[in-house]
Amino acid sequence: MAKNSSNEVTGWVGWVGFAGMLAIVMGILQAIVGIVALFKNTVYAIGPENVWVLDYTTWGWVHLLWGAFLILVGGAILSGKTWGRVFGVILASISVIANFLFIPIYPFWSIIMVVVGVLVIFALTVHGKEIASLEE
């Protein structure tokens, strides 16, 4: 497509939508994990190598609140809010760093997630305002 002007929408707006929907889906999954941790502690297995700093109830609330935050950020990205894009970039950056650290353990998956994270960061930083112009 042509170079983006102030009112022109490029194909990258799909990646912005992808970032918003990905945040919403991740938020729903995190909320489910939180609810499971709150009401059914037997689902989680603790091995001798694991170190848990929080009890199950606290862990459940952390996941539930993190999920609500991700859903909120995803909705803000899809509605073209600047703060949603800022938090989307922060969350994608954390994901890129975390997956980069896991390359020795899960190389194929981690590299894919790093690439997706970089594409999401690019879409949100360069083309993020385009999704707001779709509503006009």
What pLDDT shows up at residue 14? 84
Give me the pLDDT at residue 1, please: 43
pLDDT band at 48 (very low <50, low <70, confident <90, very high): low
> Which has the higher per-residue pLDDT, 10 or 74?
74
pLDDT in tens, 80-134: 898 999 999 998 899 889 888 888 887 898 898 889 888 888 888 888 878 776 6
Q: pLDDT above 70 covers what percent of the chain?
A: 80
Task: Pick the more confident residue, 69 or 34.
Answer: 69
Mean residue pLDDT of the chain comes to 80
State the pLDDT confidence band at 7, using cuts at 50, 70 and 90.
Answer: low
> Residue 6 has what pLDDT?
57
Output the pLDDT for position 41: 61
pTM score, whole prediction: 0.73
SS (H, E, C) the chain: CCCCCCCCCCCCHHHHHHHHHHHHHHHHHHHHHHHHHHHCHHHCCCCCCCCCCCCHHHHHHHHHHHHHHHHHHHHHHHCCCHHHHHHHHHHHHHHHHHHHHCCCCCHHHHHHHHHHHHHHHHHHHHCCCHHHHCCC
